[in-house]
Amino acid sequence: MFVQKTELRSPDAQKILEDARSLFRQLGIQKPEPEIVSSADGIPPDFVIVLYGEIILPAQMIGKLTPEEWRPLVASSIIFNYTILRGQNMGALPRIFLPLAGVVVLILVLARVLDPAGSNSFLETALVGSMITGMVIVMMPYLNRYSQGGRLKADREATRIVGRESMLQSLTRVRDLKEEWNLPRRSRRYRFAPSLNRRIAYLQRES
C-alpha cells in the first residue's frame, strides 16, 4: 500500500504513542493498543492511520507538527477505525449483500436461459465477471461518500475529547504548512477521504 514506511523512535513519536494509548483507554476500546509509530510516503498531510497496533503518519509532515498537534488527528483516526467503521459495517451488510445476492441469482438465471445444457462454463464466467465489474463501478461513488461521511463524523466525535478548537487548529496548521511547503496534491487513491478544506469547513459549520 505504501511506497516506503519507516519506524519512528524519537521522543515526539513516543509522546504520540502515549497519547494514542490514553485515547484507547478513554474511549473504552477493547483492542490491542498501538505499539509502533511509523511514517509512510504518499499519504495526504492530514491523513493518519491507527490500525493493527500501529500509528502511521504522513512522512511529509514529520517534524512539522508537535505531538499536541498530532493528537486530534490521531483521535479522529482511532474513532473512525475502531467505532464508526465497525458500526457502519454492521449497518451496511444488508445493503451490500442483498444486491450481491440478487446479482448471483440473476447470473444463474441468465446463464440457464442462454445455455440450458450448462455446457459453456466460459459464458457463465464472463457473465459473473461483467456483472461484478458493473456493480463495483456503480457502487464506487456511494462507497466514497459513505467513507467520507464516516470520517467527517469521526472528526466531530473527536472534538468531544480533544476540543473543537484543538481539532481546527491542527487541521488549519496542516493546511498552512501544505501551502508554505508546496506539498504535492492528494493522490486519487485517497478520494475516499474528505479533503483537508472540507474537514475544516465541516467543523466550522458545526459551531
Give me the DSSP letters along the chain: --S-EEE--SHHHHHHHHHHHHHHHHHT--SPPP-EEEEETT--TT--EEETTEEEEEGGGTTTS-HHHHHHHHHHHHHIIIIIHHHHHHHHHHHHHHHHHHHHHHHHHHHHHH-TT---HHHHHHHHHHHHHHHHHHHHHHHHHHHHHHHHHHHHHHHHHH-HHHHHHHHHHHHHHHHHTTPPPPPGGGTTS--HHHHHHHHHHT-
More confident residue, 27 or 104: 27
Residue 74 has pLDDT above 90, yes or no: yes
Question: Full-prediction pTM beyond 0.85?
Answer: no
- Of 174, 159, 172, 166, nearest to 206 (Cα)? 159
Condensed to tens digits (0 to 9), the pLDDT of residues 117-147 reads 665 566 566 766 776 676 666 666 667 777 8
Domain ranges in the chain? 5-205
Confidence at 90, pLDDT banded by 50, 70, 90? very low
